[in-house]
A = this chain, B = another copy of it.
């Protein structure tokens, strides 16, 4: 009795055409990272538990997956109750903690400012539910400085993202940028005391997602307890110039009683904004958005979010920012950094569902050489080898099946071209090339095969009539 073959819940396993589309997306992301000189890093899927979970009892620990060999498991099961130690190994739940461990561990062998990208899967032991994955890809870049890191790197991050999303072709997108030092300074300048900052920023982060009156009511209500006039002034400042970065910067310059944080944060934001534009990112895709606050503790300066204009419900598809110290748990060295992360699995699955990504037209092979007469097998091998040496992806149909079955295979594989050569063609010194997209056949002199195949592949696909 066979075992029912099935995947664990909470993972995204793709059929080959989808996997091919996903692979192309990851390749584009990787090429975009490398274009800016980011170096590849891969870390083991598991870390030592005590290294991974330096802060015990956090939210992340509740979601961690532990790993045990058969031997370790048996030992644990045999131990008396109450003597339980956590297993030695655990799966990484993000790429930030492994980066911190990596940089601290190899600090003296790295070249600072250290620019790395990492495209790997991470693991969360979540309850399985739609849109939540237990295993998913993250694509991260970070630049890590030793002691200091120039602001120029903050301006580069949006340029990396812009290049990638322009090439991915998921429609119009906007990269939004803000600065948390500026936000803090703005609250100070409006007289909001520090203990309330977290609660205020939490509400600010909801701008654009909830109606303003609701947010304003909560800010002025019992929970946060701002003066109603202060709440109004704050929200005016943060939302008045949405979509107009220069006006937003100008308005901030007019704020009365600016604190050092406001002045400093504003100067940073302005330099990042200008620096990014200098790198060729168009203003239509890059905006200052003062309502972006991001996570409260980790980010200390520039913060980024990215949205697909036609699909606002997806939320930010690529977020990050500047942090003051990457690896305080592992080293006394101060390692400031700036980075961003794309959650590739979730993004891909949503765009696939919305048919923004179309996996039905991608093929791995450019050409299928059909098996017309078994005695000509050596000819088919020769044709395929010639096309492969020209850089094309080529399959030879291996079985001696009827042509109808071979064409059905080609159709399912979405191969654009079939090469057909029976003894009649061979004797005439030609090869038939069938464009399966347009259902047109071409007699091609044997010596001109590669050239003609390249020409046909370069043509836009016209559907069969």
Q: Min CB distance, A387 to chain B, in Å?
A: 10
B77 touches A84 (CB 8 A): yes
A36: min CB distance to chain B, Å: 7
Task: Known A15-B106, A278-B381; judge A150-B111 contact (CB<8 A).
Answer: no
Q: Is A121 an interface residue (CB 8 A)?
A: yes
Complex Cα spacing A416 to B48, Å? 38
- A104 on interface, CB distance cutoff 8 Å: yes
Contact of A73 among B14, B87, B91 (CB under 8 A): B87
- Whether A395 contacts B36 in the complex (CB less than 8 A), given A2-B332, A3-B50, comes out as yes
Task: Out of B44, B67, B385, B412, name the residue touching A280 (CB < 8 Å).
Answer: B385
The reply on A448 being an interface residue by CB < 8 A is: no
Contact at B280–A331, with CB atoms within 8 Å?
Answer: no
Q: Do A278 and B378 have beta carbons less than 8 Å apart?
A: yes
Tell me which of B20, B123, B156 contacts A40 (CB under 8 A). B20
Contact with B along A73-99 (1 / 0, CB 8 A): 100110001001011110100000000
**Interface residue? A187 (CB, 8 A):** no
Q: Of B66, B143, B327, B328, which is within 8 A of A67 by CB?
A: B66
Is A34 an interface residue, CB under 8 A from the partner?
yes
User: Quick one: which of B88, B143, B385, B395 contacts A279, CB cutoff 8 A?
Assistant: B385
Q: Which residues of B sit under 8 angstroms from A47, Cβ to Cβ?
A: 7-8
Given contacts A15-B106, A42-B14, A364-B37, contact A395 B115 (CB under 8 A): yes
Q: Are B156 and A54 in contact (CB under 8 A)?
A: no
Cβ-based interface call for A222 (8 A): no
Number of interface residues of A (CB under 8 A): 119
**Does A116 have its Cβ within 8 Å of any Cβ on chain B?**
yes
Residues of chain B within 8 A (CB-CB) of A398 are 113, 143, 149-153, 156
Contact in complex: B152, A5 (CB < 8 Å):
no
Q: Is residue A64 within 8 Å, beta carbon to beta carbon, of the partner chain?
A: yes
Q: How many angstroms between the C-alpha atoms of A153 and B13 in the bound complex?
A: 27
**Residue pair A44, B13 in contact (C-beta under 8 Å):** yes
Whole-angstrom CA separation of A123 from B111 in the bound complex: 31
Of the candidates A67, A279, A368, A382, the one having the most CB atoms from chain B within 10 angstroms of its own CB is A67
Select from chain B the residue with minimum beta-carbon distance to A145: B399
Contact status A67-B65, CB under 8 Å: yes
Chain B residues with CB under 8 A of A5: 51, 100-102, 104-105, 327, 330-331
Assess whether B331 is in contact with A400, with CB atoms less than 8 Å apart.
no
In the complex, are the beta carbons of A330 and B3 less than 8 A apart? yes
Asked if A423 is an interface residue, CB under 8 A from chain B, the answer is: no
Smallest CB–CB gap between A397 and chain B, Å? 8
> B109–A15 contact, CB under 8 A?
yes
A26 CB to closest chain B CB (Å) equals 10
How far apart sit A89 and B44, CA to CA, in the bound complex (Å)? Answer: 18
Known pairs A5-B330, A145-B399, A151-B398 / 13 extra A-B pairs, C-beta < 8 Å:
A2-B104, A2-B332, A3-B54, A7-B44, A16-B116, A34-B364, A37-B415, A46-B135, A65-B68, A66-B67, A71-B125, A152-B371, A278-B377
> Which 3 A-B pairs have CB atoms at the shortest separation, nearest pair first?
A69-B125, A152-B398, A37-B395
